[in-house]
Copies of this chain bind each other. A is one copy, B any other.
Amino acid sequence: MSETSKMVKSDIEIAQDALLKPIGEIAAQLGLDENDWEPYGRYKAKVSANTLNKMSDYPEGKVILVTSINPTPAGEGKSTVTVGLGQALNKINRKAVIALREPSLGPTMGVKGGAAGGGYAQVVPMEDINLHFTGDFHAITTAHNALAAFLDNHIHQGNALNIDPRRIVWKRVLDLNDRALRHVIVGLGGVANGVPREDGFDITVASEIMAILCLSENLDDLKTRLGSMLIAYTYERKPVFVRDLNVEGALTLLLKDAIHPNLVQTLENTPAFVHGGPFANIAHGCNSVLATKMGAKLGDYVITEAGFGADLGAEKFLDITTRAGHFKPSTVVIVATIRALKMHGGMTKDELKHEDIDALAHGMENLACHIDTIKSFGLPYVVAINHFIFDTDREVAYVENWCRAHNHPVALANVWEHGGEGGKELAQLVVDTIENQENHFKPLYKLTDSIEEKIQTVVTKVYGGKAVDYSSKAKKQIKAFIKNGWDQFPVCIAKTQYSLSDNPKLLGRPKDFTIHVRELKVAVGAGFIVVMTGNVLTMPGLPKHPAALNMDIDQNGKVIGLF
């Protein structure tokens, strides 16, 4: 425990001390030409999506998916391990590229304060990545809300399409946590202000346009998908799509820069694509297909992160993203921390300083479930224990022994404290696993399965639940989706990230529970059906003391309060 007394630098202090290379050097290191990328400041770039065309005969690098146990307030450090693993692979002379999601300003200003890794395993410049970055989310917000304005304007100007204002399914979005906007009435104040109707705002990361940006293979694919988005029904209950308003060209134009993956670097100058940022609880939770593909073409290994636990991000990566991107993961890294496992074993956050092997033993059940999930996809995997300075030797030994007893490959990652150097054991284990373990990857369900079968498959095989209960609204929606031919899409289940069930209080590995399907939404452009379970919200709120209260910038531009 002597480490607690040494002066520990904050994430932002470490990031501000980093020696960054000009982004052109990082691009050159990847073999990119000057014409392949555009600078955004000295340390950020956008790499043109078109460069993938000229890479068609490059060999495919291995796709390493990083996922985790169910997150707890103790933190599991998945981004930190993703970044550290990339740095570590380079340390053992493998050419690795990282692919991460862009942080959302809502949680950054609310609780999180940032999402660019931690300690000596961060992507930089973290101040930019955590704020507006290259403007992708703002472009998505603008395109989303422009569409809403075109829709309301169409109704106001005569409603030639005969749209029923009570059956508009396209809401508005902001990249903020703002509970007051969840449910609003718009169009008030008289005839000049349009048609009054119920409406609401989601957070931008829940926008179908965010999902589409992350699933599109090129600008044409993007435009076709945008044109296919369902926005409303007519008074005759006929679906109305974006292409009926004839604005898919304008929306694509608004996304002309956002579609290109962003290139940055880690503290150790490992190249990292940071692109797209759908939440894994309310969306598909993976960075863009273009970013992961580009990483695989430019590196021997691309380490790609999926959001929250394997029940959310990884399941969606494996059932949705791999189908859209036509790629196959080589192995999965499942991140856990001893602190989080102890919380799954029943401890509260305040008790975590104390060694407790019993709680830890109980908590292992949560990890076991996620391991089973990855096995059910036929994939090889590695367990990565993200080491915290408070973990005791006995606790570490317990987890390592448990993994060995169950034949789970395991490695300790010290990347927060030591950067790539602290992840060499993990990196070597990942390389060995890819080279030696069999890979029988296949998605969990067939697209031809019924909507209910797909949901039941995920609930049984991934969540470990028993039954699925549908609200009467959900039942009606499924019937309508079948009628419209939308039942061939994969399902994107929106569920709390804290539990395998839809009740955030049930930690560990709950059994025999029922998942409650409240309502469904079809994302025809993204190509999936969103299944809303439990009380999951698509617009978060702010806490009593938002992280923003600690944020500041001095007259020289030095930033504090991001982490």
Which residues of A are interface residues toward B (Cβ below 8 A)?
A: 38-42, 50, 105, 109, 127-128, 131-132, 135, 138-139, 141-142, 145-146, 148-150, 152-153, 156-158, 174-189, 192-195, 199, 218-220, 223, 246-247, 249-250, 252-254, 256-257, 541-542, 544, 546, 548-549, 551-557, 559, 561
A553's partner among B41, B180, B219 (CB-CB below 8 A) is B219
Task: Please give me the residue from chain B that is nearest to A195 by CB atom.
Answer: B180
Contacts of A544 in B (CB 8 A): 157-158
A146's partner among B42, B50, B109, B145 (CB-CB below 8 A) is B109
CA distance A554 to B250 in the complex (A): 11
| Shortest beta-carbon contacts, A-B, top 9 | A249-B552, A183-B189, A138-B138, A250-B548, A149-B178, A180-B194, A152-B180, A250-B551, A153-B542
A552 touches B109 (CB 8 A): no
A256's partner among B131, B152, B156, B541 (CB-CB below 8 A) is B131
CA distance A151 to B219 in the complex (A): 39
Provided the pairs A249-B551, A553-B219, A557-B219 are in contact, do residues A186 and B176 lie with their beta carbons within 8 angstroms?
A: no
CA distance A187 to B128 in the complex (A): 32
Distance to closest chain B CB from A128 (angstroms): 8
CA distance A218 to B436 in the complex (A): 59
CA distance A185 to B418 in the complex (A): 51
A180 touches B187 (CB 8 A): yes
CA distance A185 to B175 in the complex (A): 20
Contacts of A219 in B (CB 8 A): 553-555, 557
Contacts of A187 in B (CB 8 A): 179-180, 183-184
A38's partner among B38, B42, B150, B220 (CB-CB below 8 A) is B42
Distance to closest chain B CB from A489 (angstroms): 25
Contacts of A176 in B (CB 8 A): 142, 145-146, 149
Distance to closest chain B CB from A547 (angstroms): 8
A220's partner among B42, B182, B555 (CB-CB below 8 A) is B555
Distance to closest chain B CB from A316 (angstroms): 26
Distance to closest chain B CB from A362 (angstroms): 32
CA distance A462 to B519 in the complex (A): 59
B178 touches A148 (CB 8 A): yes
A149's partner among B152, B177, B256, B553 (CB-CB below 8 A) is B177
Task: Please give me the residue from chain B that is nearest to A189 by CB atom.
Answer: B183
Listed by A's residue number, 20 A-B pairs whose Cβ atoms lie within 8 Å are A38-B41, A39-B41, A40-B41, A109-B250, A132-B257, A138-B138, A138-B142, A149-B177, A152-B178, A152-B179, A152-B180, A179-B194, A180-B186, A180-B199, A182-B189, A182-B193, A183-B187, A183-B193, A246-B549, A249-B561
Task: Please give me the residue from chain B that is nearest to A35 by CB atom.
Answer: B42
Distance to closest chain B CB from A253 (angstroms): 5
A186's partner among B109, B145, B181, B548 (CB-CB below 8 A) is B181
A253 touches B150 (CB 8 A): no
CA distance A224 to B44 in the complex (A): 30
CA distance A249 to B195 in the complex (A): 39
A184's partner among B42, B184, B252 (CB-CB below 8 A) is B184
Task: Please give me the residue from chain B that is nearest to A247 by CB atom.
Answer: B548
Interface centre among A42, A139, A142, by most B CB within 10 Å?
Answer: A142
Task: Please give me the residue from chain B that is nearest to A182 by CB atom.
Answer: B193
Provided the pairs A138-B138, A184-B188 are in contact, do residues A250 and B552 lie with their beta carbons within 8 angstroms?
A: yes
A153's partner among B179, B189, B199, B250 (CB-CB below 8 A) is B179
A142 touches B193 (CB 8 A): no
Contacts of A252 in B (CB 8 A): 552-553
Distance to closest chain B CB from A205 (angstroms): 14
B150 touches A546 (CB 8 A): yes
CA distance A176 to B143 in the complex (A): 10
CA distance A139 to B182 in the complex (A): 22
B250 touches A561 (CB 8 A): yes
Interface centre among A145, A181, A188, by most B CB within 10 Å?
Answer: A181
Given known contacts A40-B40, A150-B542, what 8 new A-B pairs fall within 8 Å (CB)?
A: A109-B146, A131-B256, A149-B176, A182-B188, A182-B193, A184-B185, A184-B187, A218-B555
